[in-house]
Amino acid sequence: MTTLTTRVSRLGKPRKATYWVLAVFVLGSLFPFYWSFLVASRDNGMLTERVPPLLPGGNFFANAARVFDTVPFWKALANSVIVSGTVTLTTVLFSSLAGFAFAKLRFRGRNALFVFIVVTLAVPTQLGIIPLFIAMSKLGWAGGLQAVIVPNLVTAFGVFWMRQYTVDAVPYELIEAARVDGCSMIRIFWNVCLPAVRPAAAILAMFTFMMSWNDFLWPLVVLDVGNPTVQVALEKLQSGYYVDYSLVLAGTTLATIPILIVFLLLGRQIVAGIMQGAVKG
């Protein structure tokens, strides 16, 4: 029987089992990635074996090369970089601007407009694909990258996120001082606000890039087979009467590696971002 003080001091101390459970979860998280690399580095024969081999084989580069022969993978990569890059830049810029206005500027209708933005978070934009598709066709944009970029120029989440951060990060005194010095609004934003909200902007940038890179339904609807993003190209790899899994999973590995590297490098910040963005009681 331990005393009360030792029990209080032990409060929140993990048991050994905690580590074991977490280790199982992390291994489970890793496994599908590893499996896809495993198949990609061997040939389809491995899939028929009852007990599959646990170590990668040597065929990964050969299988990867076939990916580039089967679908326009270079073009898909370039398209994904263009789309995700542009969307990330504009989302961060427009969200920071709107966040600055909502957090620090006074204007008629400010609260109502902000509440409206928060409410729009609940509108599932995916359901709008049909009119959006009709609109894009009428504009002659269907098939072009702008059809994927324009609908994602800025998000409600981004505005909400930047506003929350700007409220605390930018002191009114600083803005006022800049105004007294004769700064225009846009210069105040650029020289005073933006440097102060850089951490939040960086997190938003990472999120936006990942979301955009992994987006599937809308690019699938609006882009042509010859001009895909990476995700659409992957799906095309798999479509066919006979699925060549070594080929397909080489493709998924190729498409996942860049984002996995980014994630592992910036994981700490991404985690901090998610924890910061969670709703507070």
| Contact set for other proteins, span 199-228 (CB under 8 A) | 210, 213-214, 216-217, 221
Q: Is residue 55 within the footprint of other proteins (CB under 8 A)?
A: no
Nearer to other proteins, 78 or 113 (CB): 113
DSSP H or E stretch at residue 137: helix 129-139
Sites for other proteins among residues 60-79 (CB under 8 A): none
DSSP state of 122: T
The distance of closest approach from Cβ of residue 143 to other proteins in the complex, given in angstroms and rounded to an integer, is 14
Nearer to other proteins, 195 or 267 (CB): 267
How big is the site for other proteins, counted in residues (CB under 8 A)?
A: 110
CA pair distance 230, 75, nearest whole angstrom? 9
Looking at beta carbons, which pairs linking 9-13 to residues 24 or more positions away fall under 8 Å? none
Tokens of 160: 């909400």
Q: What angle do CA 187, 189, 194 make, to 5 degrees?
A: 125
Nearer to other proteins, 6 or 61 (CB): 6
* Chosen residue from 61, 179, 191, 195 binding other proteins by CB under 8 A: 179
Q: Is residue 190 within the footprint of other proteins (CB under 8 A)?
A: no
Does residue 228 contact residue 71 with C-beta atoms inside 8 Å?
Answer: yes
CA pair distance 87, 229, nearest whole angstrom? 14
Q: Is residue 126 within the footprint of other proteins (CB under 8 A)?
A: yes
Nearer to other proteins, 74 or 263 (CB): 263
Distances (CA, A) of 21 to 13, 17, 28, 31, 33: 15, 6, 11, 15, 20
Q: Is residue 164 within the footprint of other proteins (CB under 8 A)?
A: no
Q: Is residue 142 within the footprint of other proteins (CB under 8 A)?
A: no
Q: Is residue 127 within the footprint of other proteins (CB under 8 A)?
A: yes
- Give the range of 42-50, 54-62, 65-73, 197-205 binding other proteins by CB under 8 A: 42-50
Tokens of 137: 């066709």
Q: Is residue 58 within the footprint of other proteins (CB under 8 A)?
A: no
CA pair distance 101, 166, nearest whole angstrom? 9
Q: Is residue 146 within the footprint of other proteins (CB under 8 A)?
A: no
Q: Is residue 51 within the footprint of other proteins (CB under 8 A)?
A: yes
The distance of closest approach from Cβ of residue 69 to other proteins in the complex, given in angstroms and rounded to an integer, is 18
Please provide residue 31's backbone torsions phi and psi, each rounded to the nearest 5 degrees.
-55, -50
Nearer to other proteins, 65 or 261 (CB): 261
- Listed in sequence order, the residues at least 6 apart from 156 whose beta carbon sits closer than 8 Å to its beta carbon are 117, 118, 120, 121
Rounded to the nearest angstrom, the gap between the alpha carbon of residue 75 and the centroid of all alpha carbons in its chain is 21
Q: Is residue 100 within the footprint of other proteins (CB under 8 A)?
A: yes
Q: Is residue 122 within the footprint of other proteins (CB under 8 A)?
A: yes
- Give the range of 61-69, 81-89, 195-203, 268-276 binding other proteins by CB under 8 A: 268-276
Distances (CA, A) of 22 to 29, 34, 266: 10, 18, 21
